[in-house]
Structure 1
Amino acid sequence: MGVLTPRPRTRTSGTRALQRVFGVLAVTGACLASAPPALATGPAPTRLADADNPTFGLSSSSECVFGGDIIKSTPWSLQRVLLDQLREQATGKGVTVAVIDTGVDDKNPQLRGAMAAGGKDYVGKSGDGAEDIEGHGTRVAGIIAAREIPGTGFAGIAPEAKILSLRYTGAEEKQGNSRTMSAAIRDAVAKGAEIINISSDTANKQDNTELRNAVAAAVDADALIVAASGNDGADGKSASTYPASYPGVLAVAASDRNDERAFFSQAGDFVDIAAPGVSMVSTVPKGGQCTADGTSFAAPYVAGVAALLKEKHPRWSAAQLATRIQETAQRPGRGPNRYLGWGVVDPVAALSDDSTPGTHPEPDPPVKAGAGEVVPMAVTMGETEAEQERRIAMYVVGAGLLLVLLAGGSGVAVRDWRSKRARQPR
Structure 2
Amino acid sequence: MARRTFLGLTGLTLSSIATTGTVSAVEETKRFIVNAKTADKDDLEVIHRLDPVNLLVVRGSEKAVKKLDSNYAPDVTTSYSPQVDLKEQGATDEPMYSFQWDKQAQQIPTVHERTRGEGSCVTVIDTGVDASHPDLNHAINEDLSENFTPDGGDYTDVGFHGTHVAGIIAADDRNENGIVGTAPATDLVSLRVFDRFSNANFGDILAAIVHSAEIGADVANLSLGAYPYSRNGFGSFYGKALNRTMTYANKNGTLLVVAGGNDGADLQKDKDVISLPSEGAQALCVSATGPKGFDPETGDFDEPAHTPVSYTNYGTNAIDIAAPGGNLNGSLQDWVFSTIPTDFGFSSSYTYLYGTSMAAPQVAGAAALIASMTDYSVHSQANGIERLLKQTAAIPDGYDKEYYGSGFIDVLSAVDSC
Q: TM-score range by the shorter chain?
A: 0.5 to 0.7
The answer as to whether partners of 2:388 and 2:414 remain within 8 angstroms in 1 is yes
Q: Indicate which of 336, 350, 359 corresponds to 1:280.
A: 336
Structure whose residues are more often helix by fraction? 1
Q: 1:224 aligns with which of 251, 255, 263?
A: 255
Give the Cα separation in 1 of the matches to 2:247 and 2:177: 43
Query: For residues 308-367 of structure 1, what are the alpha-carbon distances to aligned partners after superposition, in whole Å with 9 as ceiling and x for unaligned?
Result: 00001132611111111111113247998221111110110111123xxxxxxxxxxxxx
* Equivalent pair of 1:238/1:338 in contact (CA under 8 Å): no
Q: 1:265 aligns with which of 306, 312, 318?
A: 312
1:137 aligns with 2:162: yes
Amino acid at match of 2:376: R
Preserved CA contact (<8 Å) 1:228 1:252: yes
**For the residues of structure 1 that align with 2:198 and 2:86, how far apart are their CA atoms?**
22
Is residue 60–residue 292 contact of structure 1 (8 Å, CA) maintained in 2?
no
Residues 64-213 of structure 1 aligned to structure 2 (within 5 Å): 64=86, 70=92, 72-74=95-97, 75-116=100-141, 117-123=143-149, 125=151, 127-130=153-156, 132-148=157-173, 149-152=175-178, 154-169=179-194, 171-173=195-197, 175-202=199-226, 204-206=228-230, 207=235, 208=238, 209-213=240-244
- 2:216–2:253 contact (8 Å) kept in structure 1: no
Tell me if the contact between 2:319 and 2:403 (Cα under 8 Å) persists in the aligned partners: yes
Q: What is the rounded CA distance, in whole Å, between the counterparts of 1:140 and 1:284 in structure 2?
A: 9
Which structure's CA Rg is the greater one? 1
2:321–2:405: 8 Å Cα contact kept in structure 1? yes
Q: 1:126 to 1:161 in 2, by over 3 A?
A: farther
Give RMSD over aligned pairs: 2.8
| 3-state SS of 1:104 partner | coil
Aligned length: 298
> Structure 1 pair 212/198, CA: closer, same or farther in 2 (3 Å)?
same
Question: Quick one: which of 276, 282, 298 aligns to 1:248?
Answer: 282
Q: Identify unmatched segments of 5+ residues in structure 2.
A: 1-17, 22-79, 292-303, 327-334, 343-347
Q: Which amino acid aligns with 2:102?
A: S
8 Å Cα contact 2:243/2:281 also seen in 1? no
SS at match of 1:97: strand
Using the aligned pairs only, state the percent identity. Answer: 31
Match of 1:329 in 2: 393
Q: CA deviation at 1:300?
A: 0.3
Q: Is the 8 A contact 1:61 1:135 kept in 2?
A: no
The separation in 1 between residues aligned to 2:265 and 2:197, in whole angstroms, is 32
Distance 1:238 1:155, change over 3 A: farther
Q: Could you state the TM-score of these two structures normalised by the residue count of structure 2?
A: 0.65
1:350 aligns with 2:389: no
Partner SS, residue 343 of structure 1: coil
1:63 matched to 2:85? The reply is yes
What TM-score results when the alignment is normalised by the length of structure 1?
Answer: 0.64
Gaps of 5+ in 1: 1-53, 355-426
Cα offset, 1:252, TM superposition: 0.4
SS of residue in 2 equivalent to 1:291: strand
2:229 and 2:276 in contact (8 A); partners too? yes
| Structure-2 separation of matches of 1:283 and 1:190 | 28
Distance 1:336 1:244 in 2: 20
